[in-house]
Structure 1
Amino acid sequence: MQFHKAGGPEVLQYHEVPVPEIGPGEVLVRVHAAGINPPDWYLREGLKVMPAEMRPALEFPLIPGTDMSGVVKAVARDVQGFAVGDEVFGMLRFPGFDGRTYAEYVAAPASDLAHKPAGIDHVQAAGAPMAVLTAWQYLIELGHDVPSPFTGQVHQPVPITPGMTVLVNGAAGGVGHFAVQLAKSKGAHVIAVASGRHEQFLRKLGADEFIDYTSTQAADVVSGVDLVIDTVGGPDSSRFLTALKRGGTMLPVFFAQYDPEETASLGITVSNIQVRSNGPQLAEIARLLHEGRLHVGVDSTYPLPEAGSAHMRAAQGHLQGKIVLTMIS
């Protein structure tokens, strides 16, 4: 799937193109499934979400996508740890827009890959990388020392210990449902905020409390929280500040602005990251997925030629897990 100009889902077109050649440090992967993430539609729309001065020049045609799961078909001479026939998954070349995973074949940096867990299928594996790495790098281990482009500071994950209270807003979505599970795995008391139809899904993932935001404002009924993970962001994100205890931490996953004087007066730290590709972290996560200690929610699947319809589903919001493209066999 590629597009020749920025626009709506209708600009995505299905084409036959040559199988990519691999370079040093790369493997060729026959893609079985590709996960859909917000940067995919940001790119399709021409990166309008970014300030004009920060937008890179785009050279068309472009193949979107960062997340995929598939089987290795060729390996560069300098690559170790992967062989033809291995099942792998990964988030490719992010931050950046050269992942090109909406395709049947992709040239993938070996450093961005991990072996796919045997306990899950390609659809589940393809749905995991960006969302789970975002939650992991926020909560468990950043894995690099690159300052956030949004704050200029290097994020320091807050150690989650038994007895802490963690609130996850937008808990049913990609990042949210992994954040719920990771916080719970560390012994936290987890409050999940989402619409009512997601309650059973989130309770099965370990949420201790559930708040239906369509009928109850979390900030009206919750206080003394140690950590808020807000996967929704936007101008209303600051309403969660009153739910935090003094000394608490706010982690906005999407764009959100906070008044430094207000957060300082409340003793609250605001921190965020830009997720980065990391094969070794995915290998750690793969063990949790294989052992059933971490689960991938799949909202829906679409055949690759119907990527436009998949983007339309994403625009509707209220996802329960991830949207995944499946390749033609």
Structure 2
Amino acid sequence: MLDIASLSELLNQPRKIVITTHHKPDGDAMGSSLGLYNYLVQQGHHAIVIAPTDYPEFLWWMPGNEEVIIYTEKTETAARLIAEAEIIFCLDFNHLSRINQMGELVGESSAVKVMIDHHLEPQDFDDYRYWNINACATAQLVYSFIVEELKHPELVNADVATCLYTGIMTDSASFRLPNTTAAVHRIVANLIDAGAVNWRIHELVYSNAPENRLRFLGYCLSNKLEILREYNTALISVTKEELKKYESNTGDTEGIVNYALSITGIRLAAFIVERTDMVKLSLRSTGEFPANEICKRYFNGGGHRNAAGGQSGRSLEETIQQFKQILPEYKTLLIQ
């Protein structure tokens, strides 16, 4: 493992740098990646963000987004850049399987690999690790990495601040989760001082939806919401046909699970959606309930205690039934 002095020395002259994040990137994934990108280009580095897949349109406005390469759309270009990279920053993921086909390319690369992440159980593929499971967002860690580790607070300009604010805001559920500590709010205050326009960022992310997305949300809440009162659990499930009917795009299902969790008395909420190749699950919980444990044990996934995800090779109906059959095991935790 490199120490911070050695990494700082590497970054003292322009390098070919690739920044990547997990597939189907969310606000924290793209916010942390573009925040780091906007920091590195100020120092003359030849940096590029490569996303394994596409990501929601409501994130396209962030500074530097126009330079992002999507691997599935420009595979040869992305592969060449990874092969040529001297440093690869791996943000908001800690296992190479999370970047799909890119995982093999990154794993085989001779570049110095830097992991910045807040998820459990990291894989040992990195040369330098800035990792804290108590951080509310990877964007929070990127801020600390720039300011505290690399000692460059003056390079947190408006573009860097805007991206990092977006990452922290989205991964903290607009500053509502328990790990949104006083320290996080102090970082956010610094980002606003540096030029992040907080109200505008919130508007661009949360008040920028196409009509179909709102109609789809209404349909889910009116027709697909199931309450399992015995277990203080709420469930929303969606078929491929329903996604197609509402012309659902990447990101349109994001956040729907939180509406289920907002119901009085609900401790666990699940959003289960049928995709082309598999069934995806998104779990949210309150308090000490371990949503990540369910995803890890039963659905080949993981995440944080109160926010986790998984997948299933079974049919949608079979996956729903499996989820329901698991609940009695956790009844004591769900009803306490």
TM-score grouping bracket, smaller chain normalisation: 0.3 to 0.5
Bigger RCO of structures 1 and 2 (CA < 8 A, at least 6 apart): 1
TM-score with structure 1 setting the length: 0.35
Decide which structure has greater helix share. 2
